[in-house]
Amino acid sequence: MAEHIIRLQGVTKEFDTKGGKVVALKDIDLDIERGDSYGIIGLSGAGKSTLVRTINLLEQPTEGKVIFNDSALTGLGSKDLNIHRRKISMIFQQFNLLMQRDALGNILFPLEIAGVPKQEALKKANELLKVVDLEERAHSYPSQLSGGQKQRVAIARALASDPEVILCDEATSALDPKTTRSILSLLKQINEERGITLVVITHEMEVIKQLCNKVAVIENGEIVERGDVEEIFKKPKTKAARKLFFPDGDYREKPLTKTSTRNRVRLVFDEATAGEPIIANMIMELGAPVNFLYANLDVLGGSQKGQMVICLAADKETADKQKAYLVAKGVEFTEIDEDEEVQA
Amino acid sequence: MEIRELLSLLAQGTLDSLYMIIICTVISYIIGLPIGVSLIVTAPGGIRPMTVYNKVMGFIVNILRSVPFLILMIALMPYIRKIIGTGIGKEAATAALIVAAAPFVARLVEQSLLEVDPGVIEAAQAMGASNMQIIRKVLLLEARPSLLNGAAVATINILGYTAMAGIVGAGGLGEIAIRYGLYRFQPSIMWITIVLLVILVQIFQEIGIKVVNKYDNRIN
Ligand SMILES: Nc1ncnc2c1ncn2[C@@H]1O[C@H](COP(=O)(O)OP(=O)(O)OP(=O)(O)O)[C@@H](O)[C@H]1O
Ligand SMILES: [Mg+2]
Residue A86 CB neighbour total at 10 angstroms: 20
Where do the H-state alpha helices sit in B42-143?
A: 51-66, 69-84, 89-114, 118-126, 131-133, 140-142
Chain A closest CA to B133's CA: distance in Å?
Answer: 7
- Which atom number of ligand 1 is nearest to the Cα of residue A218? 21
pLDDT digits (tens, 9 = 90+) for A29-40: 999 999 999 999
Q: What average pLDDT score do residues A244-272 get?
A: 63
List b or e across A166-184, with b for residues whose CB sees 16 or more CB atoms inside 10 angstroms.
bbbbbbbebbeeebbeebb
Chain-chain contact of A113 with B117 (C-beta, under 8 angstroms): no
pLDDT at residue B14 in the model? 93
- Beta strand ranges found along chain A (DSSP E): 4-17, 20-33, 37-41, 63-68, 71-72, 88-92, 165-169, 197-202, 214-219, 222-228, 264-269, 291-300, 303-311, 332-336
Show residues of chain A in contact with B144, CB under 8 Å: 100
Chain-chain contact of A113 with B141 (C-beta, under 8 angstroms): no
Q: What average pLDDT score do residues A19-36 get?
A: 96
pLDDT at A259 over 70: no
Of A79, A88, A98, the CB nearest to B138: A98
Of A82, A92, A102, the CB nearest to B130: A82
Judged by a CB distance cut-off of 8 A, whether residue B78 touches chain A is: no
Q: Which fold has domain A4-239?
A: Rossmann fold (3.40.50)
Judged by a CB distance cut-off of 8 A, whether residue B217 touches chain A is: yes
Residue A147 Cα, ligand 1 centroid: separation in angstroms? 24
Residue B1 CB neighbour total at 10 angstroms: 10
Chain-chain contact of B218 with A96 (C-beta, under 8 angstroms): no
Identify the residue with better confidence: A321 or B53: B53
pLDDT at A343 over 70: no
Range of B187's domain? 3-215
pLDDT band at A251 (very low <50, low <70, confident <90, very high): very low
End-to-end CA distance of chain A: 42
Angle between helix A278-286 and A316-328 (nearest 10)? 140
What is the rounded CA–CA span in Å between residue B50 and residue B206? 39
pLDDT at residue A253 in the model? 38
Answer whether A42 contacts ligand 1 (Cβ < 6 A).
yes
Chain-chain contact of B120 with A98 (C-beta, under 8 angstroms): yes
pLDDT at residue A163 in the model? 98
Residue closest by Cα to atom 22 of ligand 1: A49
pLDDT at residue A261 in the model? 67
pLDDT band at A299 (very low <50, low <70, confident <90, very high): confident
B198 located within any domain? yes
CA dihedral A102, A140, B109, B22 (to 10 degrees): 100
Strands A88-92 and A165-169: parallel
pLDDT at residue A252 in the model? 39
Answer whether A48 contacts ligand 1 (Cβ < 6 A).
yes
B102 located within any domain? yes
Residue closest by Cα to atom 1 of ligand 1: A15
Overall residue count recorded for chain A in this entry: 344
Residue closest by Cα to atom 28 of ligand 1: A45
pLDDT band at A316 (very low <50, low <70, confident <90, very high): confident
Identify the residue with better confidence: A288 or A80: A80
pLDDT at residue A212 in the model? 96
pLDDT at A156 over 90: yes
pLDDT at residue A265 in the model? 84
pLDDT at A162 over 80: yes
Identify the residue with better confidence: B131 or A273: B131
Q: What average pLDDT score do residues A147-163 get?
A: 97
Answer whether A44 contacts ligand 1 (Cβ < 6 A).
yes
Chain-chain contact of A94 with B119 (C-beta, under 8 angstroms): yes
Could you state, in chain order, the average pLDDT of each consecutive group of 10 residues for chain B (220 residues)? 87 92 96 98 95 97 93 91 88 92 97 96 97 97 95 95 88 89 86 92 93 79
**In chain B, how many domains are there?**
1
Least confident of A43-47, A70-74, A82-86, A285-289: A285-289
pLDDT at residue A1 in the model? 55
Those residues with Cβ within 8 angstroms of residue A80's Cβ, 6 or more apart along the chain or in another chain:
none
B81 located within any domain? yes
Q: What average pLDDT score do residues A121-127 get?
A: 97
The residue of chain B with its CA nearest to that of A77 is B130
Q: Over chain A, what is the mean pLDDT?
A: 89
Chain-chain contact of B125 with A109 (C-beta, under 8 angstroms): no
pLDDT at A257 over 60: no
Give backbone dihedrals phi and psi of B200, rounded to 5 degrees, phi first.
-60, -45
Chain-chain contact of A96 with B119 (C-beta, under 8 angstroms): yes
pLDDT at A304 over 80: no
B95 located within any domain? yes
Judged by a CB distance cut-off of 8 A, whether residue B48 touches chain A is: no
List b or e across A196-206, with b for residues whose CB sees 16 or more CB atoms inside 10 angstroms.
bbbbbbbbbbb
Identify the residue with better confidence: A133 or A300: A133
The DSSP output letter for A3 is P
Helix, strand, coil distribution of chain A in percent, nearest 5: 35, 30, 35
Q: A–B: how many Cβ contacts below 8 A? A: 79
List b or e across B81-100, with b for residues whose CB sees 16 or more CB atoms inside 10 angstroms.
eeeeeebeebebbbbbbbbb
List b or e across A108-124, with b for residues whose CB sees 16 or more CB atoms inside 10 angstroms.
bbbbbbbebeeeebeeb
B126 located within any domain? yes
CATH of the domain at B81: 1.10.3720.10
Of B137, B217, B220, the CB nearest to A112: B137
pLDDT at residue A302 in the model? 67
Answer whether A78 contacts ligand 1 (Cβ < 6 A).
no
Those residues with Cβ within 8 angstroms of residue B20's Cβ, 6 or more apart along the chain or in another chain:
B90, B93, B94, B97, B162, B165, B170, B171, B172
What is the rounded CA–CA span in Å between residue A153 and residue A140? 11
Q: What average pLDDT score do residues A307-314 get?
A: 83
pLDDT at residue A249 in the model? 43
pLDDT at residue B219 in the model? 59
CATH class of A246-336: alpha beta
B220 located within any domain? no
The DSSP output letter for B136 is I
pLDDT at A236 over 50: yes
pLDDT band at A342 (very low <50, low <70, confident <90, very high): low
Judged by a CB distance cut-off of 8 A, whether residue B137 touches chain A is: yes
Query: Position A233: which residue type?
Result: F
Residue B42 Cα, ligand 2 centroid: separation in angstroms? 26
Least confident of A97-111, A262-276, A319-333, B23-37: A262-276
B119 located within any domain? yes
Each domain of chain A, given as residue ranges in start order, spans 4-239, 246-336
pLDDT at residue A268 in the model? 82
Judged by a CB distance cut-off of 8 A, whether residue B84 touches chain A is: no
Q: Which of residues 17-36 of B touch A (CB under 8 A)?
A: none
Contact yes or no for B4/B77 (Cβ under 8 A): no
Residues of chain A with pLDDT > 70, as a percent, come to 92
pLDDT at A254 over 50: no
- Which atom number of ligand 1 is nearest to the Cα of residue A201? 22
Of A58, A101, A114, the CB nearest to B122: A58
pLDDT at residue B205 in the model? 92
pLDDT at A255 over 60: no
pLDDT at residue B154 in the model? 96
ipTM of the complex: 0.89
Answer whether A203 contacts ligand 1 (Cβ < 6 A).
yes
pLDDT at residue A258 in the model? 56
What is the rounded CA–CA span in Å between residue A176 and residue A183? 11
- Which atom number of ligand 1 is nearest to the Cα of residue A13? 12
Q: What average pLDDT score do residues A150-169 get?
A: 98
Least confident of A55-69, A189-203, A263-277: A263-277
Judged by a CB distance cut-off of 8 A, whether residue B129 touches chain A is: yes
The DSSP output letter for B27 is H
Entry pTM = 0.86
Least confident of A90-94, A308-312, B14-18: A308-312
What is the rounded CA–CA span in Å between residue A277 and residue A227? 30
Of B117, B126, B138, the CB nearest to A85: B126
